[in-house]
């Protein structure tokens, strides 16, 4: 999960209570959420949902509340629905949401599991970790099994890019210029706008020597 800074001004569609899925709402959410699902961090998903963070349950005020609308892919929204209603709010500036849930990437593109675990005992942290874990590992239907496998492979591909740059940095045969370039590329992957950024950044947080080199790039 990643921190989001939401624009203070609500889109006109919400102010006028015309639509919470209007084009202006979607464009504002895409900009604020780096065009990523806030739960799985898939970038530019083919099926986007404007998701009510706190299930509206036919409450009109919640339906059109700008602060209650989040960008999610259809798959994650289907997992969440009204079943998970005590999640970490990634738009809360007081929270460092990255460090609340440890993400460990799959070790191969064919791994059936990956590690998603809370770093404290707060109910919202535990519930959020549970939801994200289900998104990446639930295989109780054929559709979820196939899409979950596809999702884990996508995470691994991003992680393999990080490994490529790390290997260049530690390789004794690498030129100094190549090592400098590798660090720059690792730093770029530490930005929260990257796809599956939590997995990439936790790989570095769990590596003290590398963390010291690039920690200022983890936003």
pTM above 0.75, yes or no: yes
Burial zone of 155 (CB within 10 Å; 0-12 exposed, 13-18 middle, 19+ buried):
buried
Q: What does the alpha-carbon distance between residue 52 and residue 171 come to, in Å, rounded to a whole number?
A: 47
Rounded Cα distance between 88 and 39, Å, is 10
Neighbours of 215 (CB within 10 A): 14
For the four alpha carbons of 115, 155, 6 and 18, in that order, the dihedral sign comes to negative
Residue 124 is predicted with a pLDDT of: 97
What is the residue extent of each domain of the chain?
12-217
| 93 DSSP 8-state letter | T
| Structure token digits, residue 53 | 């963070």
Alpha-carbon distances of 204 from 18, 105, 121, 126, 152, rounded to whole Å: 44, 11, 23, 23, 19
Question: Going residue by residue through the chain (219 aa), what tens digit of pLDDT does each one get?
Answer: 999 999 999 999 999 999 999 999 999 999 999 999 999 999 987 788 899 999 888 899 999 999 999 999 998 998 998 789 899 999 999 999 999 999 999 999 898 888 999 999 999 999 999 999 999 988 765 566 677 888 999 999 999 999 999 999 999 999 999 999 999 999 999 999 999 999 999 999 999 999 999 999 999
16 C-beta neighbours (distance < 10 Å), count: 11
**What pLDDT shows up at residue 143?**
66
Could you identify the residue written with the tokens 């990439």? 200
Question: CA nearest 60: which of 121, 120, 107, 18?
Answer: 18
pLDDT at 140: 65
Output the pLDDT for position 163: 97
Among candidate residues 44, 46, 42, the one with its CA nearest the CA of residue 155: 42
User: Tell me, what's the pLDDT at 144?
Assistant: 67
């Amino acid at each position: 999960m990643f921190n989001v800074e939401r624009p203070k001004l609500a889109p006109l569609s919400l102010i006028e209570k015309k639509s919470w899925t209007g084009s202006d709402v979607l464009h504002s959410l895409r900009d604020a959420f780096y065009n990523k699902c806030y739960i799985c961090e898939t970038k530019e998903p083919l099926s986007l949902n404007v998701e009510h963070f706190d299930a509206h349950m036919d409450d009109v005020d919640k339906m059109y509340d700008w602060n209650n609308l989040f960008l999610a892919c259809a798959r994650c929204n289907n997992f969440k629905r009204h079943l998970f209603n005590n999640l970490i709010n990634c738009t809360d500036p007081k929270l460092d949401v990255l460090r609340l849930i440890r993400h460990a990437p799959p070790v191969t593109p064919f791994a059936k599991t990956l590690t998603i675990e809370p770093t404290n005992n707060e109910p919202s942290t535990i519930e959020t970790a549970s939801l994200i874990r289900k998104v990446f590992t639930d295989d109780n239907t054929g559709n979820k099994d196939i899409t979950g496998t596809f999702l884990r492979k996508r995470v691994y591909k991003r992680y393999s890019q990080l490994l490529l740059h790390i290997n260049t940095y530690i390789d004794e045969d690498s030129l100094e210029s190549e090592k400098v370039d590798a660090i720059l590329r690792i730093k770029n992957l530490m930005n929260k706008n990257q796809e599956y950024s939590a997995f990439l950044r936790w790989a570095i947080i769990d590596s003290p020597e590398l963390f010291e080199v690039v920690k200022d790039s983890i936003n």
